Amino acid sequence: MATRQGLQAKSFALAAEAYSDAVGAAMSPDSLRRVTEGWGQAVEAQRVLEAQQVFEAEGMNPGGAAPILKVKDPISGPANLSTDGGMILLRQEGWKEVKLSVISQVERKADERNGEIRVVLKRHSYQAGLWEADEMGQHQYLEGLRRDLSGCARLSSVNDGALWIERITSYNYPQAVQIIDWGHADERIWKVAKATFGEGSQQAQQWAESCLERLWEGRPENVVCALQALDWNTISCSEDVRNSPSYFETRQQKMDYARFRQEGYPIGYPEVLQIPN
């Protein structure tokens, strides 16, 4: 009861009040904090140990079964594995980066209203923690074993193309087709357009929409040419945006959206995407 309140309340003081109201016994905020954090540390230690053991056991016997882990909720058909990082604000610690992997079943579902096919992600499972990239790789692999990704008919990995994500995913699942999520590509194109032609300008809209149309049609090489043709010496933007020509050039195979859509792969945002039947 105390641990549950400590995890759910906005502060340990509020959690202590809720605990007292629920059980009729007093507990100080500091005591409740120690109980909650102690439980969390024990759970995290067990997760880390399990991930390390499975990763090392499988590394000694590539492709072999890991007897210390039971398969849970396996996916037999197409599956998708996505990994990302993001910043969260922690009590008394400030901003920290949390890394997250999600494994999903991929289904193609007919829409009787318009005769189209939708790619739908469902049956999600997650691994998340304040880990370095290699630690994330172990937990990503662990969850993949639980879901039996090795037995999937087809595996994709939709991500933002970060090098650490590509590295750990390629190492754990070399069979995965890695795809740059559409939302990330879309966002980059619009950032370049606004920085180059001015936010809200008609020229920015026309340029961005033209690039996105080419991407959608499976012509990323045309987008690379459009980016390289810009006069970057006159563009005021962040280093991330300035690296866009290189970003798109080195990831063209991961942006073949026309083929991905035709073959029924998810491409990211939005999660449910219409595809011509």
Greater confidence (41 vs 243) lies with 243
Neighbours of 135 (CB within 10 A): 17
Confidence class for position 29, pLDDT limits 50, 70, 90: confident
State the greatest distance between any 2 C-alpha atoms of the chain, in Å, as a whole number. 71
**Quick one: 170 and 197 in the same domain?**
no
The stretch 91-111 carries a mean pLDDT of: 88
Of 30-34, 92-96, 152-156, 254-258, the least confident: 30-34
**Quick one: 166 and 236 in the same domain?**
no
Q: What is the pLDDT of residue 2?
A: 55
**Quick one: 263 and 218 in the same domain?**
yes
Answer whether residue 70 is part of any domain.
no
Number of C-alpha atoms within 13 angstroms, CB side, residue 32? Answer: 24
**Quick one: 151 and 102 in the same domain?**
yes
Of 43-47, 102-106, 247-251, 273-277, the least confident: 273-277
Q: Would you say residue 6 has pLDDT above 90? A: no
Answer whether residue 249 is part of any domain.
yes
Give the span between the Cα atoms of 185 and 188, in whole angstroms.
5
Answer whether residue 69 is part of any domain.
no
Q: Would you say residue 220 has pLDDT above 50? A: yes
Give the span between the Cα atoms of 137 and 262, in whole angstroms.
30
Answer whether residue 68 is part of any domain.
no
Neighbours of 153 (CB within 10 A): 10
**Quick one: 165 and 113 in the same domain?**
yes
DSSP 25-76: ----HHHHHHHHHHHHHHHHHHHHHHHHHHHHHHHHSTT---TTS---S---
Instruction: Classify 123 in phi/psi space as left (phi over 0), alpha (psi -120 to 50) or beta.
Output: left
The number of distinct structural domains making up the chain is: 3
Task: Look up the CATH number of the domain holding residue 169.
Answer: 3.30.420
Residue 78 CB partners (closer than 8 Å, separation 6+): 105, 106, 107, 152, 153, 154, 155, 156, 264
Give the span between the Cα atoms of 193 and 44, in whole angstroms.
44
- Among 180, 207, 223, which residue terminates a domain? 180
**Quick one: 47 and 84 in the same domain?**
no
Q: Would you say residue 141 has pLDDT above 70? A: yes
Q: What is the mean pLDDT of the chain?
A: 84
Total-model pTM:
0.77
Q: Among residues 63, 53, 59, 267, which one has the least CA distance to residue 148?
A: 63
Greater confidence (109 vs 48) lies with 109
Range of the domain at 112: 79-180
- C-beta separation of 127 from 139 below 8 A: yes
**pLDDT digits 0-9 by tens, 159-218:** 999 999 999 999 999 999 999 999 999 999 999 999 999 999 999 999 999 999 999 999
Q: What is the pLDDT of residue 14?
A: 72
Q: Would you say residue 274 has pLDDT above 50? A: no
**Quick one: 21 and 84 in the same domain?**
no
Answer whether residue 74 is part of any domain.
no
Q: Would you say residue 3 has pLDDT above 80? A: no
**pLDDT digits 0-9 by tens, 37-93:** 676 666 666 666 676 777 666 654 444 444 456 788 999 899 999 999 999 888 778
Structure tokens, 198: 């001015």
